[in-house]
Amino acid sequence: MTKLTIVAFDGQRFEIDAADGSTVMENAVRNSVPGIEAECGGACACATCHVYVDDAWTAKVGEPEPMEEDMLDFAVDVRPTSRLSCQIKIAPDLDGLVVHVPERQA
Ligand code: FES
């Protein structure tokens, strides 16, 4: 289990014990985090699972793959720390990861 914190737009913090191999999106949906719609179910085809990776974690989480980068064009208020949460896989080296939910999705 890997510790994952998802901060909703209203500041509510969801501290989750996430299974390795699951995605940040799956954990958000499972814990009813508001603001993660995930309409495509994790196929990198909707951009409604957009999150901002916390500044302390951006280097560790890394850059989006080209397909994700293209899909991020459809997200609202994209920043350098933007990622699609269905494309971030939980692993032990991400223990303590923090992501923030934007004000609204696409
Ligand atoms: Fe659709 Fe992530 S759930 S792109």
- Spatial CB neighbours of 97, under 8 Å, sequence gap ≥ 6: 2, 3, 4, 5, 24, 53, 54, 57, 60, 61, 88, 90
Residue 105 domain-assigned (yes or no): no
- Ligand 1: which of 22, 84, 88, 105 to mutate, judged by most atoms within 8 Å of the beta carbon? 84
Q: How many domains does the chain have?
A: 1
Instruction: List, in order, residues 6 or more apart from 58 with CB less than 8 Å away.
Output: 80, 81
Domain holding 91: CATH number? 3.10.20.30
> What tens digit of pLDDT does each residue of 48-60 get?
999 999 999 999 9
Q: Is the residue at 106 inside a domain?
A: no
pTM flag (> 0.95): yes
Cβ of residue 47 lying under 6 Å from some atom of ligand 1: yes
Tens-digit pLDDT profile for residues 11-30: 999 999 999 999 999 999 99
Judge whether 83 lies within some domain.
yes
For residue 72 and ligand 1, the question of a CB distance below 6 A is answered with: no
CA distances from 31 to 24, 27, 42 (A): 11, 6, 16
Could you tell me the residue range of the domain that residue 68 belongs to?
A: 2-100
